[in-house]
Chain A
């Protein structure tokens, strides 16, 4: 008998009991899809955290403060402190220092108005420190800062809300009654989940101070280290300078300022996300086992019927090899159909957000899920058959 004909037998065997075949395929499908999707959700959440933190800039430190700490001295973040931090000698690992003031304002353009999340007044170095890329038009310059020029760069969300389809570059908008020229629009960063980093308007520090916040202390200072490895050194240097400026005693238990370290944040978040992935992997492992037991079960349940069938086939003179080949092909067909549909279901499912997370399919999990489920299907599909094929026909016929 040719393999081709045995294949035909196997096809008929699969088609003969549609419910049994359907359940087998479904069992494998669910096992495979569950594993791939669960791991993809875990992976997706890890990626999301990673991306959003990378968007904040991993080389940057943010100094916040001016509050608390009773040193008896002024502890506000002033431009004087900014100057001190810019000193190459005492802070060699610092690439740039950008003071930041921000306030919530209403922007107007013609009849349109929009409440922007924050109008930021800062230095040009802020763009690189905060990973803000100018997509169209240009950023402002040191000169604009010196002249307190009323120019503004809009975040993409802000630009779209205010201008719609009109090109914002070159337009004039009102911010708290002052006229600003829009000179650039930033590239999209995407949501971090907490707030929208694209909902900003960035202008030269003195312009914002003059028209909006006044010349008081700045709300924070963004410090960019020369590279990611220098962040710790830069932090130490800043700490020393700030302690000196604010007269913080050596070994003081609290400081009137805080330095937020984006890379540290990134590490902890990534670690959390990885734990999440491992946890989901464990859940996936369990679902793999449960799915596997389901597959085993449905395969074993059909054994009695199949054993009798094998007895009949043997009594009619079927060679053992032919029987084994038929049942192996049947098991392969069902396992591959279930596995293939499972992968397809998982890939389709991965296009949707699941509990607010965009799943990212890991190729490893596809291979693992497919491998394990198909192996289980193959083994439990063909092992009982091979056992039955080894019986004497009369024993197979009497099997209960």
Chain B
């Protein structure tokens, strides 16, 4: 049972999504017709073997890639109808994306990396510095703000990437194997951050190979060869915790 008034318009709605790489005999059907709806505040784990199309799906959801066919509605808006600058705006304001391979900008301090989305949102330097420091503090890296990515451990880099994804307070957080490169301690750190964000009402979709990680989510979707084979909900969408 969902709380009244929470059954609003879905955040994500994909219908019959197909992504084909290449042509003819060598064509790879990374996604073979995926339909999926994610409600606000949901916490979804996507699982599946390597090459099953998880990252492909995630990249499309993050507006980083376009599907071969099928529709994708984000907050009710058909993404294929957005132009280049509207897409930039969507990536900046609506979505926080955590890459499997961190993708921090080299030779640029952790703080500057985290500030980037805010800078592109046109927020004043003093304000964005404050917010970026708060985000770094949240992932426990306030004391590493001036370090360049190559001076940070893998787990720390991943947490900087998480801080960068959440600094603009997007309603939707997409994370492609955010714990894939981390040890169990760092994994716990990152997951507790994600749990906290979900408790505040953020919608989270993450990809993982690990059952312990998926156990944090409310719902687990399994992909096989570009098709959804199971979609299991374990918990209802939690009511928003109002911070004391």
The reply to whether B84 and A316 form a contact with Cβ atoms under 8 Å apart is no
Contacts known (A317-B121, A320-B85); A312 close to B103, Cβ less than 8 A: yes
> Chain A nearest CB: distance from B121 CB in Å?
7
By beta carbon, the residue of chain B nearest A318 is B120
Contact of A12 among B62, B89, B90, B108 (CB under 8 A): B108
Looking at chain B, what size class is its interface with the partner chain?
A: 20 to 34
Q: Which residues of A contact B104 (CB under 8 A)?
A: 312
Say yes or no: is B164 at the interface (Cβ < 8 Å to chain A): yes
* Per-residue contact bits, chain B 60-85, to A (CB 8 Å; 1 contact, 0 not): 00101110000000000000000011
In chain B, positions 73-113 with a C-beta closer than 8 Å to chain A are: 84-85, 88-93, 97, 99, 103-108, 112
Contacts known (A16-B108, A317-B91, A317-B93); A393 close to B64, Cβ less than 8 A: yes
Q: Which residues of B contact A17 (CB under 8 A)?
A: 107
* Per-residue contact bits, chain A 102-114, to B (CB 8 Å; 1 contact, 0 not): 0000000000000
Complex formed: what's the CA distance from A313 to B131 in Å? Answer: 19
Contact of B107 among A5, A16, A394 (CB under 8 A): A16
Contacts known (A392-B65, A392-B66); A315 close to B91, Cβ less than 8 A: yes
* Per-residue contact bits, chain A 358-400, to B (CB 8 Å; 1 contact, 0 not): 0000000000000000000000000000000000111001000
Say yes or no: is B119 at the interface (Cβ < 8 Å to chain A): yes
Complex formed: what's the CA distance from A28 to B125 in Å? Answer: 34
Most chain A Cβ neighbours within 10 Å, of B65, B99, B112, B125: B65
Complex formed: what's the CA distance from A316 to B164 in Å? Answer: 9
The reply to whether B125 and A5 form a contact with Cβ atoms under 8 Å apart is yes
Say yes or no: is A1 at the interface (Cβ < 8 Å to chain B): yes
Say yes or no: is B117 at the interface (Cβ < 8 Å to chain A): yes
The reply to whether B85 and A315 form a contact with Cβ atoms under 8 Å apart is no
Q: Which residues of A contact B164 (CB under 8 A)?
A: 316
Complex formed: what's the CA distance from A318 to B92 in Å? Answer: 7
Q: Which residues of B contact A322 (CB under 8 A)?
A: 120
Contacts known (A314-B91, A315-B103, A394-B59); A5 close to B119, Cβ less than 8 A: yes
Contact of B105 among A309, A317, A319 (CB under 8 A): A309
Q: Which residues of B contact A311 (CB under 8 A)?
A: 103
Q: Which residues of B contact A316 (CB under 8 A)?
A: 91-92, 97, 116-117, 120, 164
Say yes or no: is A305 at the interface (Cβ < 8 Å to chain B): yes
Interface size on A, residues (CB 8 A): 25
The reply to whether B112 and A320 form a contact with Cβ atoms under 8 Å apart is no
> Chain A nearest CB: distance from B111 CB in Å?
12
The reply to whether B120 and A1 form a contact with Cβ atoms under 8 Å apart is yes
Q: Which residues of A contact B64 (CB under 8 A)?
A: 315, 392-394, 397
Say yes or no: is B5 at the interface (Cβ < 8 Å to chain A): no
Contact of B88 among A305, A308, A314 (CB under 8 A): A314
In chain A, positions 7-56 with a C-beta closer than 8 Å to chain B are: 9, 12, 16-17
Q: Which residues of B contact A393 (CB under 8 A)?
A: 64-65, 91
The reply to whether B108 and A315 form a contact with Cβ atoms under 8 Å apart is no
The reply to whether B89 and A317 form a contact with Cβ atoms under 8 Å apart is yes
> Chain B nearest CB: distance from A310 CB in Å?
10
Q: Which residues of A contact B103 (CB under 8 A)?
A: 308, 311-312, 315, 397
Say yes or no: is B122 at the interface (Cβ < 8 Å to chain A): yes
Q: Which residues of A contact B108 (CB under 8 A)?
A: 12, 16
Most chain A Cβ neighbours within 10 Å, of B66, B89, B106, B121: B106
Q: Which residues of A contact B91 (CB under 8 A)?
A: 314-317, 393
The reply to whether A315 and B89 form a contact with Cβ atoms under 8 Å apart is no
Complex formed: what's the CA distance from A175 to B64 in Å? Answer: 97
Complex formed: what's the CA distance from A156 to B90 in Å? Answer: 83
By beta carbon, the residue of chain B nearest A313 is B116
Complex formed: what's the CA distance from A308 to B101 in Å? Answer: 12
Complex formed: what's the CA distance from A17 to B93 in Å? Answer: 29
Contacts known (A320-B84, A320-B85, A320-B88); A315 close to B119, Cβ less than 8 A: no
The reply to whether B122 and A1 form a contact with Cβ atoms under 8 Å apart is yes
Complex formed: what's the CA distance from A85 to B70 in Å? Answer: 106
Complex formed: what's the CA distance from A316 to B88 in Å? Answer: 8
The reply to whether B106 and A305 form a contact with Cβ atoms under 8 Å apart is yes
Complex formed: what's the CA distance from A10 to B126 in Å? Answer: 19
Complex formed: what's the CA distance from A321 to B89 in Å? Answer: 13
In chain B, positions 18-70 with a C-beta closer than 8 Å to chain A are: 59, 62, 64-66
By beta carbon, the residue of chain B nearest A5 is B119
The reply to whether B120 and A394 form a contact with Cβ atoms under 8 Å apart is no
In chain A, positions 232-287 with a C-beta closer than 8 Å to chain B are: none
> Chain B nearest CB: distance from A330 CB in Å?
14
> Chain A nearest CB: distance from B61 CB in Å?
12
> Chain A nearest CB: distance from B154 CB in Å?
17
Q: Which residues of B contact A315 (CB under 8 A)?
A: 62, 64, 91, 97, 99, 103
Q: Which residues of B contact A5 (CB under 8 A)?
A: 119, 125
Contact of A319 among B85, B93, B99, B112 (CB under 8 A): B85
Q: List 7 A-B contacts (CB under 8 A).
A: A5-B119, A312-B105, A315-B64, A316-B97, A392-B66, A394-B59, A397-B64
Interface residues, chain B, CB within 8 Å of chain A?
Answer: 59, 62, 64-66, 84-85, 88-93, 97, 99, 103-108, 112, 116-117, 119-122, 125, 164
Q: A318-B88, A392-B66 provided; 7 other pairs, C-beta below 8 A? A: A316-B92, A316-B120, A318-B92, A319-B120, A320-B84, A393-B65, A394-B65
- Shortest Cβ-Cβ A-B pairs, 3 listed: A317-B92, A317-B91, A16-B107
Interface residues, chain A, CB within 8 Å of chain B?
Answer: 1, 5, 9, 12, 16-17, 305, 308-309, 311-322, 392-394, 397
